[in-house]
Amino acid sequence: MKKKQTAKQNCTSGELKGAESSCTPFLEDVKNARDKFTILERAITSARNGIVITDPNQEDNPITYVNPSFLELTGYSQDEVINHNCRFLQGNDRDQEGLRELRKAIQQGTAITVVLRNYRKDNSLFWNELTVSPVHDESGRLINFIGIQNDITARTEAEKRISEFYSKISHELRTPLSSIRTALSLLKEGNGGPMTSGSLKLVEIAGRNTSRLLRLVNDILDFRKIEAGKMELRLEETAPAELIDQVLGELEATAKDRNITFEIIINCDDKMQIDRDRIAQVLSNLTVNAIKFSPTNGKVKIHTIKNRDGFICFRVIDRGQGIAKSDFGKLFQKFQQIDSSDTRAPGGTGLGLSISKSLVESHGGEIGVDSKVGRGSIFWFEIPVKRSE
């Protein structure tokens, strides 16, 4: 039993080399070697993924085997691909980052997964998620490469449509919402003429809900940028006091609606190298949550301190209902809200804390929470004063 477990662990870690050794834990009930290879051959032949085997010991690393699914995927016959290099799938489209990575991996004899723009025999494009792995004999000598082809064209096109959808949200929703919010603000200030108290109240309600909807749209767009790795940081020197003033100015009306006051304590004046708007977004997210879950007429505290070498810590403290320790793990995950019941405080996509976590970590910092049920919560994040290269 012990021998079986060790063999499986070695196989998983890639320490065993050679087809016989690596397959033994999975075919140990099959005693006859011919039967084992028959099973393996049938498995490869039946696989729905395209499979090719090449010989790196021959000139130009030609294909020596293809399964039927590869022929079905590409439209080529077996005679048209055997003894040829796989580059016929590239057509003239060879300026691809994935190809450069693939060539490097083959030269080094290492495994790799890349996504390539490939072409069938009829010249139709398909997106190929290709996994290439080296095959060694019992002595460790490289004898073959095996390539697994996965047609991800449908998935790629779906991702493209999603990207276009997000772009449409940006242009068709965010821009008019910003204009509506500005117009409502001007009406509230009296620029459209005198208003009755009833009309003013309606304008204020419309303004708050417009701002809320705009925040939801911005959260969705930010989340998409972060997932796509396209969130760019525009760094500038900013002092903690400047950041806090910016956030409180934006949240003044929100706090006033619930008669929430602020206590600000700043114990450091070092300037941070940050994207001011993005870290203000983090502090705003935490402060909005503190306001939302604080009792009416309550107080929200914002404290900053230089708590260890090179890091400034922001703490947002409320005296709300608190959070159970068992729920801490959900807080910074996407689309997670602790209380999904009808009694939960309104608003939110469940993205705010997930986005905040990504933004803080992109600055080289950390974010976390300390809380006790019935005692309130402390949400904190640390930002380095100087960014490391």
Who has greater pLDDT, 105 or 224? 105
Say what the pLDDT of residue 10 is: 36
Q: Is the pLDDT of residue 282 over 90?
A: yes
What domains are there in the chain, each with its CATH number?
A: 2-152 (3.30.450.20), 153-231 (1.10.287), 234-389 (3.30.565.10)
User: Which residue type, as a one-letter code, is found at position 234?
Assistant: R
Distance CA 11, CA 338 (A): 42
User: pLDDT tens across 142-157, in order?
Assistant: 999 999 999 999 998 8
Say what the pLDDT of residue 188 is: 85
- Ranges 22-31, 108-117, 207-216, 218-227, most confident: 108-117
Mean local confidence (pLDDT), 199-211: 86
- Is the overall model pTM greater than 0.85, yes or no? no
Q: Is the pLDDT of residue 256 over 50?
A: yes
Say what the pLDDT of residue 28 is: 61
Contacts of 113 (CB under 8 A, 6+ apart): 129, 130, 131, 132
Say what the pLDDT of residue 181 is: 87
Q: Is the pLDDT of residue 347 over 60?
A: no
Say what the pLDDT of residue 15 is: 35
DSSP 160-195: HHHHHHHHHHIIIIIHHHHHHHHHHHHHHTTTT---
Q: Is the pLDDT of residue 22 over 60?
A: no
CA angle 69, 48, 151 (to 5 degrees): 80
Query: Whose CA is closest to 238, among 280, 288, 284, 285?
Result: 280
Distance CA 134, CA 147 (A): 9
Percent of the chain having pLDDT more than 70?
A: 86
Q: Is the pLDDT of residue 9 over 60?
A: no
Q: Is 201 helix (H, G, I), strand (E, B) or coil?
A: helix
Average per-residue pLDDT for the chain: 83
User: pLDDT tens across 159-168, in order?
Assistant: 888 777 777 7
Distance CA 385, CA 310 (A): 5
